[in-house]
Structure 1
């Protein structure tokens, strides 16, 4: 069988497809990734680069896993080097700080359990202190598209590993924007879950009360596939908390800044035009727009580095800095030591906490059922410009990001065209911690359009048109039970390369029954008269996988046309009427999630 050529843009669905068709093996993929890492060594992506001896045990383990039951089977991922991988040094980009953990970080353990393959440890702004990607003794990580430009930090290495075809996804961390800025600068999606949604056990703390583990990938579908394996309370993590899995839905409104925004850097004018183009696209989504005073977010963000929260970094790392003079990067040590200033006493901490609590209250009122959209970055810089002015350039990069964790928001950074040739622009969608579904739904809708760059506003670029033409044929599939997100058979959807599109419901013409099977399954039966709307999910599946998927469905279930509330019909799960005779009628529940909650 002809072997697949491995593209630079690795996606989870593409890899699943090639594995299932025996056109590629994980071993072959890893060999290619190792070669790429050697070819790109001067980009300073890795601290501990991919190595077959280190990776082989994870490849061997795949033979013990059923790909249908391991949603990330054979998917390679990179790890920011402030997150523990058992048996591999964690440096936080400081050799003198390094230690070798005996166990994996909580999130790494979950991803490996799901079949993912850890590749190595990537570069970062030392101690995750910076947003530029130049603050590392292991070298400045180059931007994946324009090497003279910054890559963004502190999660520089993981982002460039994904953008450069050396990982399908990568773990970063985010305290002030580190899981979003590198996404924007390297044309990626960056997902920052709500505080505590993913465990931070095994992560070198920057500000432990604000730190999040994040993910970079090429699509929203891929970051949510990773989220499905990583999310959940960890019994040994004091910062962990239960945050429900995102259920994509549209917000009641989109909030945009009412006053003109400031842009900076080499391409300030181009970034301003790209933001205008993104706003125009948002206005065409048929979601109400409200223009709000963004000063609330600027004032909250100022607390992070201009208030006593910088002392939390000193509390975590001050002992090491004092005991190892000169070991840390000069600008990093300067920032960390600022947290030891006498002005940051206990009284100042409480005063800032009280001030922040008021900001949180205002944000909750403003963002109820809503999504805030801001530029991920207001500009960018060359690496040389950052070297000459490391403090103010870094401060600018956090202008539209620093508020997020302080206000207990979730965030999703997505590409929004290019500001200039090979110079990506991106936006970030923010919502309250419990409303992750809103940023997912709005971002999916935004991405489904034709993002216009400042140069191509009003029409798709030729690259986008070519990508659309090359996209595989797909079909929508309505699922109403065990194939929905979070249920056991979601893995079947993922193994077929399907991606979640939206929550929806049927027309008010259906009966739902609970079949007497083990495990219990729902049966959706259309009525000639009467009936009720039933909640379901709409997924998109490659047509080449749809036939085999439908053929494997056991009677009395099958695939038929399901009428949705808007009158449209899509293929979906239906049930033969005879099965209702011995089944429990659960129509009044409104949907399977109410019958068999997770």
Structure 2
């Protein structure tokens, strides 16, 4: 067993497929190791529900008994994954990190169904900020998931458990959600990739809504290629979901990217860049800009003010009413079952009027019109995924302000109907990861993942070189 454990250094999809193809290990052996790792970690806050080992092994046995010609038609044959616990899987509990809210799902989200039908193996449901309300990852009715790079630091949220399950080698990929940064912030804090596709590209049916008009299913993976592979398998128009969209063509300049191709990337004007006193992440962002220039990019500073105004609409504007529309009735009837911070945020929507909502819609329309010309000047917008990170104790002492700080570069993306890809960008001196996010108009995922994959390789090579010198 130990020799096999040494072979299983990574759960990235290409490595697992190669190992299966060469018979170095089998899916059942991989699952045995995963459950051993889960047992060794004990109560670590990652999971709200782990499927019984025998249930998972029974699923694996079915996959292993398939004829070879059938296996080869399943692109995710034997690949383990996790699902954020606001996403329904039939027969399993959905808790939204609120034990008192728990119900057994009758249906499975279509994305999850598609992935299982492609041969993937579901390990369990993962922890989150309660009702997907937060970017910190510690607002949960269960144990707090710990950042694997520093246990006193937050893991990021709301898809905290999803990101940590990938980062700690328990699954190859995770399915999460992203409304205002939940699929990007935890990716950054866990040194993995977070792909937030265009709204409606992946079905959001059978999910406990945060903001139904904004919610996206997001993908966490160890590398860009894996995230894109999963998204390509999972995407598709869902006629049963009112917010599903047919895939459209991106702008001509964003159809794809190849290494060495010239491109234009925008960054916020220096006076709009905010790192909340974190010099490490500021320095890493400057390194990222230089890397992109070395790749053939032209850096174009842009006015970030309208993006900041859009940010404020999500938690400080009328879109908080969407959260109340989703779970407000439950919270009203079960106030003691909900964390005070979550309860107060969502119930604050009761102060809003219908007129406030329409004013917010008008303001957002004005901002979109203001921002639209920017996309004629640049191909992608590049920002730090977050300007800083905080310790758990810091967030507990100042939960609202610090959470808001983490959304400085993320909250506007779905409001403005953009696509985004969060990528690792090296490590701070304290050993905690940092990241950048590439942002582009809707349906530009191919360009983002092509560009992001090249950037990720460049930064990884540089990090390895620095490590060897030290």
1:120 aligns with 2:105: no
Alignment-derived partner of residue 66 in structure 2: 64
Cα distance in 2 for residues equivalent to 1:79 and 1:6: 26
Shift, 1:56, TM fit:
3.1
1:441 Cα deviation from its structure 2 partner = 2.5
Alignment equivalent of 1:263, drawn from 266, 275, 287: 275
Structure 1 residue 64: deviation in Å?
3.4
User: Residue 376 of structure 1 corresponds to which residue in structure 2?
Assistant: 385
Contact 2:256–2:447, Cα closer than 8 Å, also in 1: yes
From the CA coordinates, give the structure whose radius of gyration is larger.
1
Which residue of the partner structure matches residue 189 of structure 2?
A: 185
Is 1:48 aligned to 2:49, yes or no?
yes
Match for residue 445 of structure 1? Answer: 454
CA distance in 2, matches of 1:402, 1:8: 35
Contact map agreement 2:130 2:139 (CA 8 A) in 1: yes
Aligned to 2:328: 318
Residue 171 of structure 1 pairs with residue 172 of structure 2: no
- SS of 1:141's equivalent in the other structure is coil
Q: 2:297 aligns with which of 287, 290, 297?
A: 287
- Mapped to 2, the partners of 1:3 and 1:174 lie a distance apart of 36
CA contact (8 A) 1:277 1:452 kept: no
- Computed over aligned residues only, the root mean square deviation of the Cα atoms, in angstroms, reads 2.1
Aligned ranges for residues 98-117 of structure 1 at < 5 Å? 98-117=102-121
State the match for 1:303 in structure 2. Answer: 313
Q: Distance in 1 between matches of 2:206 and 2:21?
A: 34
> Does structure 2 conserve the Cα–Cα contact (< 8 Å) formed by 1:93 and 1:126?
yes
2 CA distance for matches of 1:274 and 1:136? Answer: 31
Which of 385, 389, 406 is the matching residue for 2:394? 385
CA distance in 2, matches of 1:18, 1:56: 18
CA contact (8 A) 1:6 1:29 kept: no
Indicate the residue corresponding to 1:493 in structure 2: none
1:188-207 matched pairs, under 5 angstroms: 188-207=192-211
**C-alpha distance in 2 between matches for 1:244 and 1:4:** 44
Residue 125 of structure 1 deviates from its aligned partner by 0.5
CA contact (8 A) 1:281 1:451 kept: no
Question: What is the CA distance between 1:214 and its match in structure 2?
Answer: 0.5
The alignment status of 1:348 with 2:349, answered yes or no, reads no
1:253 and 2:253 correspond: no
Aligned to 2:220: 216
Alpha-carbon shift at residue 361 of structure 1 (Å): 2.5
Distance in 2 between residues matched to 1:244 and 1:445, nearest whole Å:
25
Relative to total residues, which structure has the larger helix share, 1 or 2?
A: 2
C-alpha distance in 2 between matches for 1:54 and 1:365: 53
Is contact 2:225-2:449 (8 Å) kept? no
Please give the alpha-carbon distance, in whole angstroms, between the structure 2 residues aligned to 1:180 and 1:27.
31
Q: Which has the higher contact order (CA 8 A, sep 6+)?
A: 2
C-alpha distance in 1, partners of 2:155/2:249?
A: 30
The separation in 1 between residues aligned to 2:461 and 2:343, in whole angstroms, is: 41
1:33 Cα deviation (Å)?
Answer: 0.8
1:68-109 deviation digits (Å, cap 9, x = unpaired): 111111100011101111211010011111111122111100
Q: CA separation of 1:301/1:31 partners in 2, compared to 1, >3 Å: closer, same or farther?
A: same
Of 362, 370, 377, the match for 1:362: 370
SS at match of 1:264: coil
CA 1:276–1:452 in 2, change beyond 3 Å: closer, same or farther? farther
1:234 CA displacement: 0.9
2:101 is the alignment partner of 1:90: no
CA distance in 2, matches of 1:423, 1:224: 25
Q: Show the 5 A alignment for 1:532-547.
A: none
Contact 2:88 2:108 in 1 (8 A): yes
Q: Is 2:263–2:296's contact at 8 Å kept on the other side of the alignment?
A: no
Q: Distance in 1 between matches of 2:66 and 2:150?
A: 42
- The alpha-carbon deviation at position 134 of structure 1 amounts to 0.7
Report deviation, 1:111: 0.3
TM, length-normalised to structure 1: 0.73
Instruction: Give, in angstroms, the shift of residue 259 of structure 1.
Output: 2.3
1:364 and 1:60, CA in 2 relative to 1: closer, same or farther beyond 3 A?
A: farther
Q: Gaps (5+ residues) in structure 2?
A: none
1:144 is matched with 148
Residue in structure 2 matched with residue 460 of structure 1 by the alignment? 465
CA contact (8 A) 2:249 2:443 kept: no
Q: Secondary structure at the match of 1:32?
A: helix
TM-superposed deviation, 1:442: 2.0
User: Deviations 1:536-577 (Å, cap 9, x if unpaired)?
Assistant: xxxxxxxxxxxxxxxxxxxxxxxxxxxxxxxxxxxxxxxxxx
How far off is 1:323 after superposition? 1.1
User: Matched residues in 2 for 1:186 and 1:434: separation?
Assistant: 26
